[in-house]
Structure 1
Amino acid sequence: MRPPVLLGGIAGALVLSALLLWLITGQGVVALAFFGGVAALLGVAIVLDRMRPSAERSELEPPDWSVTVAALERDGAAVAIADRANRLVCANATYESWFGNQSAPPGLPLDRKGLEALTRTAREAWRDGKSTARGIVSDDGSHAWNIWAERAGRGEDYLVWRFVAITEEDPTGEMAARITGQLGRLLSRAGIEAALVATDGTVSACAPGFAERATGDATATLAGQDFARLLRTDDQDHIFFAREGRRGNPQTLIHVPLGDPQSARAPGPDECASLMLLIDSTVGMGSGDASAQQATPQLESLLGALPLGLAVTDRDGRFLFANRAFRRAGGIEEGSLPQYPSDLVVREDKTALSDAVRRFGKGPATSGDMAIRLRDMPDDPVSLGIAGVRGLGEVAVLLSLVDSTEENRLKRQVAQATKMQAVGQLAGGVAHDFNNVLTAVIGTCDLMLLRHTPGDSDYDDIQQIRANSNRAAALTRQLLAFSRQQTLRPEVLQLPDVISEVGMLLKRLLGEKIELSVHHDRDLGPVRADPQQLEQVIVNLVVNARDAMLAHGDSGKVSISTRRVTAQDVRKVASEILPEADYTVLVVQDTGGGIPPENLTKIFEPFFTTKELGKGTGLGLSTVYGIVKQSGGFIFADNFPAIGHPEGARFSIYFPVHRGEAPATEKSKPAEPAANWSGGGRILLVEDEDMVRAVAERALSRAGYTVTPCADGEEGLAAVANGGEFDLIVSDVVMPGMDGPAMARQVRKVKPRLPILFMSGYAEEQLRSEIDIEAMHFMPKPFSVQQISDTVAGLLAKYAAK
């Protein structure tokens, strides 16, 4: 409303203007007409002015939301209203109890995925008028909601949010509500009485018809009463309601467990309840009762609501109905149902299944189960439950089948992992025993070569034996690599540097007709691994690719690349095997035709090869697998379609990116040569293998040492305890009775400064926890005469200098 002073000023100006006009023109009529016209316009303006402020106030004054909040109050749903600035305008009590009254969507305490989904929902709702987000989880994972957002308001400048909590399914509670409600009444009218029975045999809930036939009162709950006491049987095992006795019709009892067989957790007491169906003998086709015609549709409705895979057949074994769970477990396409259950199984099981279904359909009402193999999963037998039912007309057999796809997949993975672990332990044990044999063979050859010079008739033969022994030693190293028991010297390095070091060797291995392509990503992270072992991994993969391409022709292409994979990339893949982290990936792929699908799960097993007899050991890829796993990496093999080339195999190796500063590389000092030590020494030699002990004793004695040989740890400990003076103990690690580490700890109590040299066919890392003793040294088997002599000389020189 305009101020009174302003209106008075306007009226005065109007009067003054009229007087001036009369003085100028001298005509009073003109001045009067002017005054009247302007006064009329001023009156209209005042009226409009009075109307406008009221409208503006109604727009500017904040609305009263109390009525809206009262309308939003509803059980089980949270409702909130936010403006375009994402400010909370109002909310009901449920919303405030869940999220408080300070934050408006999407700024709620949700996990990252939920926040992104809620932000997208708000954007779509403002744009399209409405949007939905389902399965949104709180940041602590304790709650989940389905959320709807819809634009509202006179100017559509508000969003109405509605949150509905997602509750865990309770099949037992849902079934209790159904049978005590409309479904139970429908079943009763069709001659089927239903009751929910707990694990202790007491009734939890029942249909009104069941209560009426059992007690005469349709409103009775029967909760806590013994289910079996409500029934009775005659001498022919016919079942009757106890209250009706033989005056009533015989009943067919069907027991349906309600527990979820696929649940990974142990079921609670309420989840083990059972649904008991009592079907009147007069119900079914040909019973003469019009109500019997409704039995099959009602039964289908009931079976369709259950989470178990259930189906029914007639007396001849023809399918009448199968619920969705049964179709999924049996691999039946939606909308189709085979004629017989035997159409679902392999040819060898068809006759047995057909006979079983017909036997249960025409015999007494019994139940059982049998193992079958489905056509879609011929290698994984599953259990099929079969029960004969009576009194349902055409329905004669009830079949139950559980979807075991995921269970079978997990079984195969566990079996494969167990097998690989067992083979790895076997490989490590074989390598240890074989190293003892090779130590004796190589040592004996060295001793013989000391008596034979080049040109002797036996010299070349001994050299050939020694060369083959060294080749066998290389095979044992491959076995140790597969079993992840070899000694690694890890360093922090860049994969491109390792590939560059071995590049010239790869070109010579591939030849001129096979192309080698190398590509590296930028910003690759460093990895921690043994460079020599990585070179062996690359060489083995390239040689394997070369052999595959030569088997399909005389040319091809091998590609080696390195890629950078971030933790975000791993998160998008959602791998169950690969942990979320940053990786540097080495990819080796070829155009050799790929790996047959049936071999993909076997290629990393030791001694598995597709090459001709005598052309492969089958340890190349198993060695690669062992080195990668021992280095903390992951390896995957698959096939890929190469553009312009035949299909090929691809090996992807994921190494975790090393974080932190690179440790200083300790360069191993070469052992002091024997020529630098001439002081002799007293050696206590403890070795349970006679061949190895004999070779080591002869080698050390020939080098000028005084050697006391012992066959086990007890004998070696006795030699020290009886006053023996020694400069060095050379001992095996694994021995029967007292092993090397146990003997060394007892010796140290008497001789605390006596150095010890352990020798073993096992890897140093595997024995580190057992031989973690001060002044301890390690020498792997097999070793030559020169190696043991130089090692002993170096140690004696080292400790003599101290």
Structure 2
Amino acid sequence: MASIALPTPVRNAALVAAISGIAAAAVVLLLVGSWIAAAGFFAAAVIVIGALIAWRLLNPVTNDASRPVDWDLTRTVAEAGSDALAITDRAGRLVCANDAYEALFAGFPTPPGLPLDDAGTAALADAGRAAWRDGSAHVDRLAARDIALSAQIARAGDDADMLVWRFVTAQEHDLAETLAALLAGPTGDQLGGSGIMAALLSPDGRVRTANRVLRARACGDEHDAIEGRDFARFLITDSRGLVRFEREGLEGTPLRVLQIPFLDGDDAPVLVALLDDEEDAPALGASASAHVRSLVSMMPFGMALVDRDGRFLQMNDSFLRAAGVNAVAPPLYPGDLVVREDKAAVADAIRKFAGGATHSTDMAVRLKDHPDEPVALTIAGARGLGDAAVLLSLKDNSEESRLKREVAQATKMQAVGQLAGGVAHDFNNILTAIIGHCDLMLMRHSPGDSDYDDIQQVRTNSNRAASLTRQLLAFSRQQTLRPQILQLPDVVSEVSNLLKRLMGETVRLDMTHGRNLGPVRADPGQLEQVVVNLAVNARDAIVSANARGGGVLTITTRAVPASEVREMASDILPVADYTALIVQDTGTGIPPDVLPKIFEPFFTTKEFGKGTGLGLSTVYGIVKQSGGYIFADSKPGQGATFSMYLPVHSAPAATRPAVLKPTPKPVDLWGTGTILLVEDEDMVRAVAERALVRQGYTVLTAENGEVALEVLAKHGRPDLLISDVVMPQMDGPTMVRHARESYPDLPILFMSGYAEEQLRRSIDLDNVAFLPKPFSVQELAEAARDVLATRRHEQDVGKS
């Protein structure tokens, strides 16, 4: 049988209770003389003992309860290091910080709200959020009170509910501060005793500190304040290139200026030493030339030295990168860098400056490795630099040139888009008149008439022209979209049968759909057009690659989480969750010189007369207007890949404010009432008036907004106001605002050749319907009837 070891307090309590029970039983026995009463007292003591033992066993005393954090101990440990440390809790409160933190930030501010610049505070806040999410984070290049810092943040605590912020002073600051203290102290005096004048300069050339002998020579008094002053203003140079203190004049002792590198980086401080050149020789002799070459090699911009014969003496790394030159086999002459047409101009300029020209000049030259991108070459004469006679400077502006090209491309695309939108708008007005007159003529002809087929053919061609204007509007992102919440695989499935017919028998179509695809918000009809356009282009590329037409077209849909987008590190694609549609072919591929132009309007590689150049530009416009991104990637001979990224839609679908509803159209379009028609195009106004009159309406017309307001003042409130949006003198929205001041409940039907979404953002009016141009007579009659029916329904509901 297993024994149970009782705790010491329990054993002691049991012993005391047993002794007490026996003593009580003995006393009862002596006083009463009854063994039964004595046994009862003893039994009661046993019961008490058992209850005590059971309670102690069921409620053991634990000694491992969590203890509160000893912040005094934590702070003592933090003081052991020299880094600034702080601890914040889950609520963002500062709970502990060491003395180094207080000294660095002049108090106890709570991270990330530290005395940093806006960019530093934002970077620190992002790092804090990353540390909560990932466990740790790191951020560099922070600046607090002119001190360069880096921060390391880590999640800590038993419940991982605290952040430890560790701020480390940058190496550059530590070295610079140490050097400044040495120059200002006894070490600086020892250098002065050896004839060395030393100063520490900031990156912009201002004095941070200097030893006493330099202050005495430069200012005349070793106690004068020299900190913060421009070091170059203390020096002068004579005609021979000798350097002297400006205070001592041209009769002063020549100086040898040495730059001593001790830190890397464009924003690192500079240590300068000055020595008296007692021999009165040129300031830059053999040893000094070596210092000049060391100085040139450390310049952050492209610099080179050329001798009097026009040969290169030295090129720093920045110059080699900017010129695209191999450091192993550098060119001998500057003319070897440029194209043949620029060689003579560069050689003449170098010859002129080597002969004594004192000014400098900038030349636009074309490098042999980059003949299409002119670069700026600065040429200046050099004096007092030993064998060097000419100084060249070449700026690496490849990134600047790329940005300029992208801005020019974007500007061109925007201008073409505005032009395309304007052309489509005017063309829609013309098509509205053509289609409307065709409809009116078809009402007077039956299918057996001789003119019926001709009129029908004109109408068919007009509709084809209308589809072309929709492509123009799609490119300029001004087409009317009907976005819905949908899944990309459903869109691909809708057009799969059409794609199989388009591909033919020799091109195999493979479709693969990923799992867990997020929904997107887009116009399904427009997305189908995107898929068809990409597939047709891929088919043509496959046929061009193989005379027999054999090849594979692969359409893939897959989920692209934000983590994958972050790894892509794209400058264009924001970090978010996307659903991707990828169209890949095994065709000829796209040449590198053509790839940047494929989304431009009217650009096509097909034969003359076989392509409009609007296919891919339409795709681009639809994708961008849907809030997505599209990229093309291709290697010659390996096919092309088009990747479209649409953001995952998570918000609930918003209700559209449009009055027109996709309800079944009534067969009877006859109506009654008065309609005010406002249209600046005579041909559109005429056909719309005739169409509405034929449906039974009384029509009042006006050619602009001002005339419309006069008609309202004369005839009173109409049953419906139909107006164009863009008109001279007074546009439609402005006219409607004035009209609703007198008739707040006046029904409005806008018609325009521009996009509904674009117009709704600019109109900013409630309870208006929209009819896109071009429209048919029946569509106009249906729109008018729907608006009036909706208005009457609202009135009936209000009365009831």
Q: What's the TM-score, normalizing by structure 1?
A: 0.71
Match of 2:499 in 1: 506
Aligned with 1:354 (options 347, 355, 371)? 347
Partner of 1:614 in structure 2?
A: 609
List aligned pairs for 1:48-447, cutoff 5 A: 143-144=149-150, 165-166=169-170, 247=251, 292-447=285-440
Give the drift of 1:789.
2.4
Pick aligned residue for 2:520 from 524, 527, 530: 527
1:777 to 760, 764, 769: 769
Instruction: For residue 695 of structure 1, report the CA deviation from its aligned partner.
Output: 1.3
Structure 1 position 722 matched with structure 2 position 728: no
SS at match of 2:372: coil
CA–CA distance in structure 2, aligned partners of residues 460 and 174 of structure 1: 95
Displacement of 1:652 in angstroms is 0.7
Aligned pair in 2 of structure 1 residues 405, 720: CA closer, same or farther (>3 Å)? same
Q: 1:741 to 1:73 in 2, by over 3 A?
A: closer
Q: Is the 8 A contact 1:240 1:248 kept in 2?
A: yes
Which residue of 583, 588, 602 corresponds with 2:583?
Answer: 588
Q: Which moved more, 1:605-614 or 1:406-415?
A: 406-415
Aligned residue for 2:589, secondary structure, equals coil
- Residue 746 of structure 1 is matched in structure 2 by 738
- Against the structure 1 CA distance between its residues 385 and 167, is the aligned structure 2 distance closer, same or farther, given a 3 Å change threshold? farther
1:793 counterpart = 2:785? yes
Would you say the 8 A contact 2:671–2:785 is kept in 1? Answer: no
Residue type of the alignment partner of 1:787 = E
The count of residues paired between Structure 1 and Structure 2 equals 667
Amino acid at match of 1:165: T
Percentage of pairs with the same residue: 56
Give the counterpart of 1:654 among 629, 640, 645: 645
Partner of 2:704: 712
Q: Deviations over 1:266-292 (max 9, x none)?
A: xxxx99x999999999999xx7x9x82
Q: Aligned residue for 1:631?
A: 626
| Equivalent pair of 1:309/1:325 in contact (CA under 8 Å) | yes
Q: 1:748-798 deviations in whole A, cap 9, x for unaligned? A: 222233322111001111111344434421111011122212322343344
Query: Shift of the alpha carbon at 1:458?
Result: 4.0
What per-residue deviation string (whole Å, max 9, x for no partner) do you get for residues 500-537 of structure 1? 11110001111111111111112222222111111111
Alpha-carbon distance, 1:396 to partner: 1.2
Whether the 8 Å CA contact 2:127–2:138 is kept in 1: the answer is: no
Q: Which amino acid aligns with 2:678?
A: V
Q: Which residue of 1 aligns with 2:29?
A: none
| 8 Å contact from structure 2 (residues 241, 384) kept in 1 | no
Change (3 A) 1:523 1:576: same
Query: Is it true that 1:759 corresponds to 2:759 in the alignment?
Result: no
Letter in 2 for 1:507: K
- After TM superposition, list the pairs within 5 Å mapping 1:673-684 onto structure 2: 673=666, 675-684=667-676
C-alpha separation in 1, matches of 2:438 and 2:634: 47
Q: How far apart are 1:233 and its partner, in Å?
A: 8.6
Partner Cα separation in structure 2 for residue 373 and residue 171 of structure 1: 43
Whether contact under 8 Å (2:242, 2:384) holds in the other structure is no
Q: Secondary structure at the match of 2:382?
A: strand
Aligned-partner Cα distance in 1 for 2:274–2:425: 65
Partner of 2:681: 689
CA distance in 1, matches of 2:691, 2:542: 48
**RMSD, matched Cα:** 5.0
SS at match of 2:645: strand
Deviation readout 1:657-715 (Å, 9 max, x if unpaired): 22255679999433644x53545322211100111111111222233322211111111
Moved more, 214-223 or 773-782: 214-223
Q: How big is each residue's C-alpha offset from its partner over 1:193-236, in whole Å with a ceiling of 9 and x where there is no partner?
A: 9996998x987777999778767889988557787986679999
Shift of 1:389: 1.4
Deviation for aligned residue 1:437: 1.3
Q: Is the CA contact (8 Å cut-off) linking 1:319 and 1:337 kept in structure 2?
A: no
Query: Offset of 1:624 from its aligned partner?
Result: 0.9
Instruction: Tell me the equivalent position of 2:21.
Output: none
**Structure 1 residues 391 and 229: alpha-carbon distance in aligned structure 2, compared to 1, 3 A threshold:** closer
Q: 1:220 to 1:716 in 2, by over 3 A?
A: closer
Say if 2:533 is the partner of 1:540: yes
3-state SS of paired residue (1:406)? helix
| 2:591 matches 1:599 | no
Cα offset, 1:418, TM superposition? 2.5
Q: Check conservation: 1:283, 1:391, Cα contact below 8 A.
A: no
Equivalent residue of 1:608, what SS?
coil
> Structure 2: where are the runs of 5+ without partners?
1-72, 86-96, 109-125, 154-165
Cα offsets for 1:297-320 (capped at 9, x unmatched): 111112223323222111122111
Deviation at 1:466, TM superposition (A): 2.0
Alpha-carbon distance between aligned partners in 2 of 1:234 and 1:165, rounded to the nearest angstrom: 43
Q: Does 1:737 align with 2:737?
A: no
1:557 to partner: Cα distance: 1.2
Rate the CA distance shift 1:294–1:565 in 2: closer, same or farther, 3 A.
Answer: same
- Give yes or no for contact 2:377–2:392 (8 Å, CA) kept in 1: yes
- Preserved contact between residue 587 and residue 653 of structure 1 (Cα < 8 Å): yes
**Partner Cα distance (2:217, 2:141) in 1:** 47
Q: Deviations over 1:227-265 (max 9, x none)?
A: 79866799999987656655569999999xxxx9999xx
Q: Distance in 2 between matches of 1:367 and 1:501?
A: 68
Would you say 1:560 and 2:555 are equivalent positions? Answer: yes
Bigger Cα displacement from structure 2, 349-358 vs 477-486: 349-358
2: CA distance between counterparts of 1:283 and 1:434?
84
The answer on whether the counterparts of 2:199 and 2:208 sit within 8 Å (CA) in structure 1 is: no
Change over 3 Å in CA distance of 1:724–1:250 after alignment to 2 = same
The question of whether the paired residues in 1 share the 8 Å contact of 2:669 and 2:695 is answered with no
Name whichever of 707-716 and 737-746 sits farther off. Answer: 737-746
Residues of 2 paired with 1:333 and 1:495: CA distance?
A: 50
Shift of 1:568: 1.4
The residue identity in structure 1 corresponding to 2:680 is D
Separation in structure 2 between the aligned mates of residue 685 and residue 197 of structure 1, nearest angstrom: 73
Instruction: Confirm or deny: 8 A CA contact 2:623 2:644 kept in the other structure.
Output: yes
Looking at structure 2, the residues matched to 276 and 315 of structure 1 have their Cα atoms a distance apart, in angstroms, of 29
Counterpart residue type for residue 638 of structure 2: E
1:581 partner amino acid: A
Distance of 2:681 and 2:278 partners within structure 1: 81
Partner secondary structure for residue 500 of structure 2: helix
- Is contact 2:519-2:649 (8 Å) kept? yes
Contact 1:481 1:627 in 2 (8 A): yes
Q: What is aligned with 2:115?
A: none
Output the amino acid matched with 2:360. Answer: S
SS class of match (2:332): coil
- Looking at structure 2, the residues matched to 694 and 279 of structure 1 have their Cα atoms a distance apart, in angstroms, of 96
Show CA shifts across 1:6-56 (max 9, x none): xxxxxxxxxxxxxxxxxxxxxxxxxxxxxxxxxxxxxxxxxxxxxxxxxxx
Q: Which residue of 2 aligns with 1:26?
A: none
Give per-residue Cα distances to partners, 1:539-563, cap 9 Å, x unaligned.
1110111122222332221111111
| Structure 1 match to 2:542 | 549
Against the structure 1 CA distance between its residues 716 and 765, is the aligned structure 2 distance closer, same or farther, given a 3 Å change threshold? same
> How far apart in 1 are the matches of 2:473 and 2:790?
31
- Given that 1:283 and 1:393 are in contact with CA atoms closer than 8 Å, whether structure 2 keeps it comes out as no
TM, length-normalised to structure 2: 0.71
